Amino acid sequence: MSGDLKPVYLDYNATTPIASEVQAAIIENLDNWGNPSSSYAIGKRAKSAVDKARSQIAEMLDAQAVDIIFTSGGTESNHLAITSAINKYRESNTNTLPHIVTTNVEHPAITQPLRHYEEQNMCNVTYVPVVKGTGRVNVTAVLDSLQPRTCMVTIMLANNETGILQPVQQIFSEIRKLNLTRSEKILLHTDAAQVIGKLKVSAGELQADMITIVGHKFYGPRIGALYCRNPQNIIRPMFFGGNQERGFRSGTENVAMIAGLGAAAQLVTDNIDGYTKHLKNVRDYLRDGLMTRFQLVLNEEDPKLERGEVMWRYVDSHMLPNTLSVRFGGFSGNQLLAELSDTLQASTGAACHSGGSVSQILLNSWNWSEEGASQTVRLSVGRETRRSDIDRVLDGLAGLILGDEAVTLSRLKGRIVTNA
């Protein structure tokens, strides 16, 4: 590899660069330093910038601008959704604990606050397991977990590690029907961090009450927002003191970053079909290239992979268009990435999960042992990823794994394990 070539970045599920249009919006508004709550001219200009961004984000979601609340990021948005559901329930139910339903593959920004609130005896939580081998939660299993005191169902729209899309729309549609006859309405929340900017997300189609929006996942700044249908009926603020965001989130607005988030949303609104098509095209090129250079093992269970064999589990219609989670025989994921650090920048899972030796998300999603999960590398492509980048990565992988045996002809004639 030429010394002036940078490693190919394939970790777009972790974070994305800031788009040039977003940078321009941020820079332009760095001089827009007035307080949006002020009534004089410079404050009004700042408020206008915030209002514009709010409208841009709402348009991206086919929503109303009044339903967008700016936050510091996805973690805060998730916390605001959860605490609002808990506190809303407790206002009229003082003798019973609220109950929340989620899955066993959620992001730590959901699972850790839920476990904390359980420990504080503020709620009970049911963690519905996804179906092993599919990574998807069963709609009926979620519905069967509901209780009279269930106040919230929170299920991520797509998993950040596996790329699997969850049947959120189907689940929320069924619960909305149940809500017609329930005295305690169930609030419906989804963390859409991994899907916005990759596939079209419509608040109305999802039938969600709340949606978490994370700027740095779709080429925006590291702030976020929470969509909330009729927030005055749902939101119970965590912060007090300034009455900004109509009292839902106190704290002087970060005008430049909010403007940047709006610009990122506008890019999605204008280009989502093209983004989806490009991401899928490049991801499929990566998939096909792996099948060309290595032996693909097809197995629903947990075979021991030999050096030069690869394996993945996905159904294309249930996947993010940019993600491929791959097992490489003969290497741990960490070892593979360390050896290829000059060629490839990727991860074995979410950075937020670092510290553990094996991803629990992978163990919960697939029929794999800890060894199988440890061999997995998450490869996620982005808007600027080109086929030439994928070729470099494939050549690097082949050179490391196969050495002198590296070839570019099909190896699919080799061992293919099936359930038969």
Taking every pair of Cα atoms in the chain, the longest distance, rounded to a whole number of angstroms, is: 74
d(CA 206, CA 209): 9
User: For 268-276, which contacts have Cβ atoms below 8 Å and span 24 or more sequence positions?
Assistant: 268/60, 268/196, 268/197, 268/218, 269/56, 269/59, 269/60, 272/197, 272/199, 272/200, 273/200, 275/197, 275/198, 275/383, 276/198, 276/199, 276/200, 276/321
In the chain, helix, strand, coil percent, each to 5? Answer: 45, 15, 40
d(CA 377, CA 343): 14
Residue 352 is a catalytic residue: yes
CA 51, 54, 56, 58 dihedral sign is negative
Bridge partners of 191, per DSSP, are 212
Between helix 255-293 and helix 387-402 the angle, nearest 10°, is 50
d(CA 164, CA 99): 26
For tokens 């029929």, the residue is 367
DSSP string for 219-240: TS-S-EEEEESSHHHH---S--
Are 59 and 52 in contact, with CB atoms under 8 Å apart? no
Residue type (1 letter), 8: V
Strands 210-214 and 224-228 turn out to be antiparallel
What's the DSSP call for residue 252? -
Distance of CA 96 to the CA centre of its chain: 33
Structure tokens at 40: 């004089």
Residues 6+ apart with CB under 8 A from 315: 134
Instruction: Tell me the three state secondary structure of residue 141.
Output: helix
Catalytic residue among 123, 151, 228, 352: 352
Please count the other Cβ atoms lying within 10 Å of the Cβ belonging to residue 411: 19
| Catalytically annotated residues | 352
